[in-house]
């Protein structure tokens, strides 16, 4: 309905958003061009951030993390979603099991992760039993994979549900037509299922990318403020700059990260609009 009355509905919420998010962020954006004492300093802060060694390490690790995790998560969850597609109550039970990590607090899993991945842990016991060498997962570069595992563990169910939603809107009669034409299972999957999931896949990629920032909880609880080098992520960097009140660097870095995310969200938004 065309009516200004809509504004009245959104005004209370919008003012809160303005006060707590929008205006302070604009303030931070302004500060990113200033020294701590408030003098304008152009792109100095940005230069400082971009030349910062810890920043390089964190960006590299974060990008690498996303590049490893996303394909792995997408493939595993799609596989599960496709298998679950035409199953009854057993499938529902599986989905519930996959979603449970959403309810488990990070602190609850950290001890288990330690027990599994420690030098004297259960995984190494298995390796010994198989006649392999043990790996100290917590204190070497292998800690990266502990984090990858945490991420997959946490997000698998969420992503399976998203894929299932995408699968459920593919019209059944396309499949039937393909079967009548004698197409095999693999063939139908490749030429019907996959092409029809393009839209869903894009949304899932963006959402999973943004969820990857939340893996910080597990990383932080397992390894503290200064973890092993290979899992020093952007989130650690932000957290450390925050604790040291490195305002100028932090403001510039926040704006940079914001811009990267803005690009992703814009693309997602465009694809949603096209859908309508």
- What is the footprint of other proteins within residues 156-195 (CB under 8 A)? 156-158, 161-162, 164-166, 169
Q: Which of 243, 226, 201, 228 minimizes the C-alpha distance to 144?
A: 228
- How far apart are CB 53 and other proteins at their closest, in Å? 19
Q: Name, in order, each residue with C-beta under 8 angstroms of 148's C-beta and a sequence gap of 6 or more.
A: 65, 68, 69, 72
The answer to whether 251 contacts other proteins (rule: CB under 8 A) is: yes
Q: Which of 198, 218, 170 minimizes the C-alpha distance to 74?
A: 198
**C-alpha–C-alpha distance, residues 274 and 259, integer Å:** 23
Q: Residue 37 has what DSSP assignment?
A: T
The answer to whether 227 contacts other proteins (rule: CB under 8 A) is: no
Binding mask 43-62 for other proteins (x = CB under 8 A): --------------------
- What sign does the CA torsion over 223, 224, 230, 234 have? positive
Which residues are 34's β-sheet partners?
40
- How far apart are CB 63 and other proteins at their closest, in Å? 15
The region of 41-49, 73-81, 175-183, 187-195 touching other proteins under the rule CB under 8 A is: 73-81
Q: How many residues bind other proteins (CB under 8 A)?
A: 100
- What is the footprint of other proteins within residues 86-145 (CB under 8 A)? 93-112, 114-115, 118, 120-122, 124-125, 128
The answer to whether 38 contacts other proteins (rule: CB under 8 A) is: no
- How far apart are CB 253 and other proteins at their closest, in Å? 9
């Amino acid at each position: 309905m065309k009516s200004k009355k809509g504004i009245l509905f959104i005004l209370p919420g919008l003012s809160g958003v303005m006060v707590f998010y929008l205006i302070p962020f604009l303030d931070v954006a302004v500060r990113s061009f200033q020294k701590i004492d408030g003098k304008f300093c152009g792109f100095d802060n940005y230069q400082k951030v971009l030349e910062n060694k810890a920043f390089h390490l964190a960006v590299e690790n974060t990008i690498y993390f996303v590049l490893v995790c996303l394909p792995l998560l997408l493939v595993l969850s799609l596989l599960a979603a496709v298998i679950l597609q035409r199953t009854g109550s057993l499938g529902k039970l599986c989905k519930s099991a996959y979603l449970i990590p959403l309810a488990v607090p990070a602190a609850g899993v950290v001890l288990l992760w330690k027990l599994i991945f420690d030098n004297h842990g259960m995984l190494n016991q298995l390796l010994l039993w198989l006649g392999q060498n043990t790996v100290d997962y917590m204190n070497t570069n292998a800690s990266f994979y502990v984090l990858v595992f945490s991420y997959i563990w946490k997000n698998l169910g969420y992503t399976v549900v998203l894929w299932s939603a995408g699968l459920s809107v593919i019209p059944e009669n396309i499949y039937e037509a393909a079967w009548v034409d004698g197409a095999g299972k693999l063939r139908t999957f490749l030429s019907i299922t996959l092409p029809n999931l393009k839209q869903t896949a894009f949304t899932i990629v963006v959402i999973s990318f943004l969820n990857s920032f939340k893996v910080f909880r597990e990383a932080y609880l397992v390894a503290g403020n200064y973890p092993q080098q290979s899992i020093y992520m952007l989130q650690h960097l932000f957290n450390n700059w925050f604790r040291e009140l490195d305002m100028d660097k932090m403001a510039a870095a926040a704006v940079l990260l914001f811009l990267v995310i803005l690009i992703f969200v814009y693309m997602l938004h465009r694809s949603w609009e096209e859908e309508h």
